[in-house]
């Protein structure tokens, strides 16, 4: 071999080595410089995974610790069709029975292995969606077939790594429709353009007991995650107070919405890596944040009192078929609500079954509806006039007048009083006590005129009329109560009798509670305490005084006067409503109301106006007992029960009074209510405050 040939070989070899190194260098520049960011992102996404762990939503409890709302642990069960084995097909009927779905539906999901390239991606877009867990937000994943190499992937990445499809189980392409809808997770398209389905939901309501049986079937490719679903053990009880959580586990109304920040807890997560087979490498976990379960919220609602309220509303609904009705029960010494309900109502576990024609059942009438209170409102001008020293219980008024001269703001008006009827025809003068007891409209109008517009309005506002109560149930309205500068000449005679002012049931309940609580307006409350997942108290609510409305001696006088409405003194048979409102052994104090509703009337000219109806009324009774030592305040308000009331008019004493008595009688033994001359039970123990 010549020396020149050897040199040429060396040169060629050197050139080859140089070219190779140049190519390698160019490749490295291409990878490490030009496309470095994209590649690093791709590698990171390929290896990194985040698994989210659901927090359990906290319970809502009544004052005695009974669960009104709780979270049930369920399993969201899914399948990786690529991992199914032919020999497991005989187990499918048992699987369908355990999850409660028809076998044809289950078979379709199990045998649909691909989605055509033209089909929408729905919930996921394949491997690129590396942070999405296929079985929802829960991370507690159960591998039901540990012996199968591809079964039980914990995440989408693990699912897409599964191999070994059973070719005989399904055709090469998917069915025309997606068997699992938006719950399906797919992988990248294959050479034919089909995307393998890596996860399809079978059920999201599998119980822990059913899961044990499903595990015994040992079907490859079936796996699930733990999720929590809201449930309401008492069904309709306190439905409008609690509110509900929808199918997406989002709180919609009531305490569920108001206290969501504390109830929902904090989800946890795990940041980890996977190997080439896309299986987790626990040793490379960079962060493991455990879920923190939600706090529990304890209400002042007592389930037994609530059931008494709900049962009475059901009775009212069946007997009178009213448009709506509300009952509120509270402790006047603390302001805490013991029971509150509305008719119509709904089952919290079946909120989605309330039809379009029954949507009113979802509204909390106690705070979201307004009505003219009628005669119950007379407690406000009476208490105001007594508190201002303008009258005494014995002060007399001529209630036979047709007109009265009223001096207001320096001007003199002759005001025509409301149309006189048999219930307001009194030949002899009436005392203030009799005006309240016999519910004289003309007497109340004169009390209002003595006060004047500004003072009447100011006292009504002080009693809580026209203001939000702050109850955390949502959708509360203020009602309609115009300021004095917007009143016309007749308003001063209408407002004292409960016309021309519209309020919510909770506002009228608050106003009566002022008299029962020695003249102080207490904030109505529903939440007693909040506890963390370990049971430690986080917040503890105590009675909250908003303001003093009237003096204690005025409140004492009003209690005596209101006691004569329901329990007339011996020898004064016409002092009040008598036996209809009596609870044996107790003095009952309260006031009835029968308010005319307005309706649209077409005049001969064709013009439409609103006028008071003679056959549509709101009947109510709001009161408390024992009169001299109030321990419970009860409001019963029934809207439009006229059609099924005796005589065709839904008088408060007829449609609401008996329910007050029935509820009160049941509460005597349960709450250990004692007569005024006997030691009473202590009010609800309260302490602390909400920051």
pLDDT tens per residue, range 437-448: 889 999 999 999
DSSP state of 32: I
pLDDT at 621: 97
Share of the chain above pLDDT 90, in %: 52
Are the C-beta atoms of 228 and 246 separated by less than 8 Å?
no
Are the C-beta atoms of 240 and 474 separated by less than 8 Å?
no
The sign of the dihedral angle between the CA atoms of 119, 120, 126, 128 is positive
Q: Is the pLDDT higher at 510 or at 8?
A: 510
Which secondary structure element, helix H or strand E, spans residue 74, and what is its range?
Answer: strand 67-79
pLDDT at 479: 96
Q: What are the tens digits of pLDDT across the range 156-210? A: 233 333 333 333 333 333 333 344 444 676 666 766 777 888 788 899 888 888 9
Are the C-beta atoms of 359 and 478 separated by less than 8 Å?
no
The phi and psi torsions of 568 (rounded to 5 degrees) equal: -65, 145
Within its chain, how far is the Cα of 405 from the centroid?
51
pLDDT(311) > 60? yes
pLDDT at 166: 35
**Average pLDDT rounded to a whole number, residues 510-532:** 97
Buried b (16+ CB within 10 A) or exposed e, 576-603: bbeebbbbeebbbbbbbbbbbbeeeeee
The listed range with the strongest mean pLDDT (470-474, 502-506, 599-603) is 502-506
**Average pLDDT rounded to a whole number, residues 508-526:** 98
Q: What are the tens digits of pLDDT across the range 144-156? A: 443 333 333 333 2
Same fold for the pair 53-298 and 303-525+539-670? no
pLDDT(677) > 90? no
Query: What are the tokens at 130?
Result: 């590396």
**CA gyration radius for the chain?**
36
Are the C-beta atoms of 88 and 324 separated by less than 8 Å?
no
Whether domain 53-298 has CATH 3.90.1310.10: the reply is yes
Q: What are the tens digits of pLDDT across the range 638-656? A: 999 999 999 999 999 999 9
Residue with tokens 């209170």: 373
DSSP-assigned states of every residue in 290-333: --BPPPEEEES--HHHHHHHHHHHHHHHHHH--SEEEEEEE-TT
**Average pLDDT rounded to a whole number, residues 454-478:** 96
CA distance 487 to 481: 10
What integer best gives the mean pLDDT of the chain? Answer: 82
pLDDT at 316: 97
Kindly report the length of the chain: 691
Burial of 72 (0-12, 13-18, 19+ CB in 10 A): middle
CA distance 321 to 640: 8
Going by pLDDT thresholds of 50, 70 and 90, the confidence category of residue 604 is confident
pLDDT at 48: 63
Query: What are the tokens at 191?
Result: 């050479």
Class of domain 303-525+539-670: alpha beta
Please state the domain extents for the chain: 53-298, 303-525+539-670
Query: What are the tokens at 373?
Result: 């209170």
Q: What 3-state DSSP class applies to 272?
A: strand
pTM of the model: 0.79
**Average pLDDT rounded to a whole number, residues 457-468:** 97
pLDDT at 196: 83
């Amino acid at each position: 071999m010549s020396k020149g040939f050897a040199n040429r070989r060396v040169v060629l070899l050197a050139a080859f080595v140089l070219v190779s190194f140049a190519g390698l260098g160019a490749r490295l520049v291409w990878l490490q410089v030009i496309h470095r960011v994209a590649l690093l992102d791709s590698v990171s996404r390929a290896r990194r995974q985040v698994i989210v762990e659901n927090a359990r939503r906290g319970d809502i409890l009544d004052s005695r610790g009974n669960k009104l709302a709780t979270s049930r642990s369920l399993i969201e069960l899914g399948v990786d069709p690529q991992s199914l084995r032919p020999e497991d097909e005989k187990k499918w009927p048992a699987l369908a029975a355990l999850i409660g779905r028809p076998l044809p539906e289950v078979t379709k999901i199990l045998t649909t292995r691909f989605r055509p390239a033209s089909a929408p991606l729905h919930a996921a877009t394949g491997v690129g969606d590396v942070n999405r867990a296929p079985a929802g937000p829960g991370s507690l994943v159960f591998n039901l077939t540990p012996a199968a190499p591809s079964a039980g992937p914990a995440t989408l990445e693990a699912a897409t790594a599964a191999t070994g499809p059973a070719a005989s189980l399904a055709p090469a392409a998917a069915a025309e429709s997606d068997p699992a809808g938006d719950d399906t997770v797919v992988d990248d398209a294959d050479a034919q353009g089909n995307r393998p389905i890596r996860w399809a939901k079978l059920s999201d309501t599998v119980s822990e007991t059913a899961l044990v049986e499903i595990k015994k079937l040992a079907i490859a490719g079936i796996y699930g995650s733990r999720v929590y679903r809201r449930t309401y053990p008492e069904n309709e009880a306190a439905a409008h107070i609690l509110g509900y959580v929808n199918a997406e586990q989002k709180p919609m109304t009531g305490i569920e919405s108001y206290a969501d920040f504390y109830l929902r807890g904090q989800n946890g997560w795990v940041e980890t890596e996977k190997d080439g087979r896309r299986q987790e490498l626990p040793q490379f976990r960079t962060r493991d944040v455990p879920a923190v379960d939600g706090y529990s919220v304890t209400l002042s609602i007592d389930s037994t009192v609530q059931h008494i309220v709900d049962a009475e509303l059901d009775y009212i609904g069946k007997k009178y078929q009213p448009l709506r009705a509300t009952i509120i029960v509270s402790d006047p010494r603390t302001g805490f609500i013991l029971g509150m309900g509305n008719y119509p109502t709904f089952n919290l576990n079946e909120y989605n079954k309330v039809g379009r024609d029954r949507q009113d059942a979802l509204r909390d009438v106690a705070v979201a509806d307004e009505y003219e209170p009628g005669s119950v409102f007379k407690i406000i001008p009476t208490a105001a006039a007594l508190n201002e020293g303008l009258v005494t219980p014995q002060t007399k008024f001529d209630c036979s007048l047709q007109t009265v001269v009223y001096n207001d703001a320096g001007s003199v008006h002759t005001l025509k009083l409301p149309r006189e009827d048999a219930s307001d025809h009194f030949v002899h003068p009436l005392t203030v006590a009799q005006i309240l007891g016999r519910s004289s409209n003309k007497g109340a109008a004169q009390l209002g005129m003595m006060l004047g517009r500004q003072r009447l309005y100011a006292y009504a506002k002080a009693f809580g009329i026209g203001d939000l109560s702050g109850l955390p149930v949502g959708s509360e309205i203020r009602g309609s109560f115009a300021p004095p500068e917007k009143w016309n000449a007749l308003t001063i005679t209408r407002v004292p009798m409960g016309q021309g002012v519209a309020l919510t049931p909770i506002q009228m309940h608050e106003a009566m509670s002022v008299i029962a609580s020695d003249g102080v307006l207490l904030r109505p409350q529903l939440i007693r305490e909040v506890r963390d997942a370990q049971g430690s108290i986080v917040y503890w609510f105590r009675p909250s005084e908003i303001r003093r409305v009237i003096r204690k001696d005025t409140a004492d006088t009003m209690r005596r006067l209101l006691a004569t409405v329901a329990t007339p003194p011996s020898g004064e048979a016409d002092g009040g409503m008598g036996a209809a409102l009596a609870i044996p052994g107790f003095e009952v104090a309260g006031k009835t109301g029968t308010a005319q509703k307005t309706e649209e009337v077409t005049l001969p000219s064709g013009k439409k106006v609103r006028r008071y109806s003679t056959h549509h009324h709101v009947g109510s009774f709001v009161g408390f007992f024992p009169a001299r030592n109030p321990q419970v305040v009860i409001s019963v308000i029934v809207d439009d029960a006229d059609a099924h009331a005796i005589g065709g008019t839904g008088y408060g004493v007829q449609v609401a009074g008996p329910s007050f008595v029935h509820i009160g009688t049941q509460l005597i033994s349960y709450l250990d209510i004692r007569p005024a001359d006997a030691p009473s039970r202590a009010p609800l123990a309260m302490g602390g405050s909400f920051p």
